[in-house]
Structure 1
Amino acid sequence: MTLAGTLETELELKSPADKYFKRISSELHQAPNASSDKVHAVEVHEGDWETPGSVKIWTYTMNGKQEVLKDKIEVDEAKKSVTFVAVDGHVLEKYKSYKVTLHIVPKGEASVAKITVDFEKQHESHDDPKDYLQFVISLIKDIDEHLASQAD
């Protein structure tokens, strides 16, 4: 069994790529408004909401348990890509490394979210982070619905 791996999937979004990318790259404080059953708070720990390299602290519910994640954000404006690299928190109890990359691709008036989860397990007995991937998918859908419900 290998300790490192990658999970990938794609989601069709209703939101235009620019609007969705702006929300995930510089407006993460809106995540609890879009998905209050999952995300309880996103706070700046270091830096600010817009600067790549800034560190955020997420408080969320995963599989019925409250968890915390501290991540560093990497933004590629040209590619409309945002990467969240875990630097502390519950996810690192099972994984030596964990990062989620969201690449937002325009598709007509809407867009597609390409999701990549790269990880390395602490121990081979730990499962791949499929539950975390499902959490990310659900959050992406919630943000998309929230954006679609807002007037421009």
Structure 2
Amino acid sequence: MAEACNNQGVYTLVEKLETDVEIKASAGQFYHMVARPHHVSKACPGKIRDCDLHEGEWGKVGSIVHCYYVLDGEAKMTKERIEAVEPEKNLISFRVIEGDLMKEYKSFLTTIQVTPKHGGPGSIVHWHLEYEKISDEVAHPETLLLFCIELCKEMDEHLLSEE
């Protein structure tokens, strides 16, 4: 948990959840798919129904992406702005600006970084979810983190099947 000062000078609690997922695909392959999430919907149609580029270019800072997904059996939508892109580090960040997550969170930022595994094939996908809940009654997004883990595994299987 970290304190952050909002624009009214009030301190808020920004919380985070993180996990690492080991995959067999290369860091570059996985990053390329994440930076162009319309490919993710082809790899994981049961989880990601569709991703549309609303504004800008795939994988470019400032671009706006709409994603339609299924979480806990419910259809959801998110509109995200790409906040950071570092291809040399296989890193990309998406900030939620509209959608279902904004009903429970004041802010939500997802950062994904993929690094090659040391001493062998495959990669490690690091997910970093940073968020501020609208109230203490709102649960931490653990089901979303599990969703991210499952998504990684399905994306990995898809990438390996293309080789």
Amino acid at match of 1:67: K
| Structure 1 position 50, deviation (Å) | 3.1
What is the CA RMSD across the aligned residues, in angstroms? 1.3
TM-score normalised per structure 2: 0.87
Amino acid at match of 2:16: T
Percent sequence identity is 31
User: Which residue of 1 is the match for residue 45 of structure 2?
Assistant: 36
Map 1:51-66 → 2, pairs under 5 A: 51-66=60-75
User: Which residue of 2 is the match for residue 46 of structure 1?
Assistant: 55
More contact order relative to length (CA 8 Å, sep ≥ 6): 1
Amino acid at match of 1:10: D
Larger-Rg structure: 2
Amino acid at match of 1:90: D
User: Which residue of 1 is the match for residue 14 of structure 2?
Assistant: 4
Q: Is the 8 A contact 2:59 2:85 kept in 1?
A: no
Offset from partner CA, 1:1-37 (integer Å, 9 cap, x none): x853110110101001111111111x31111111111
Offset from partner CA, 1:21-72 (integer Å, 9 cap, x none): 11111x3111111111111100001112232221100011111111100011
SS at match of 1:78: helix
Gaps of at least 5 residues in structure 1 are: none
Amino acid at match of 1:141: K
- Judging changes above 3 Å, is the alpha-carbon distance between structure 1 residues 80 and 22 closer, same or farther for their aligned structure 2 residues? same
> Number of matched residues?
149
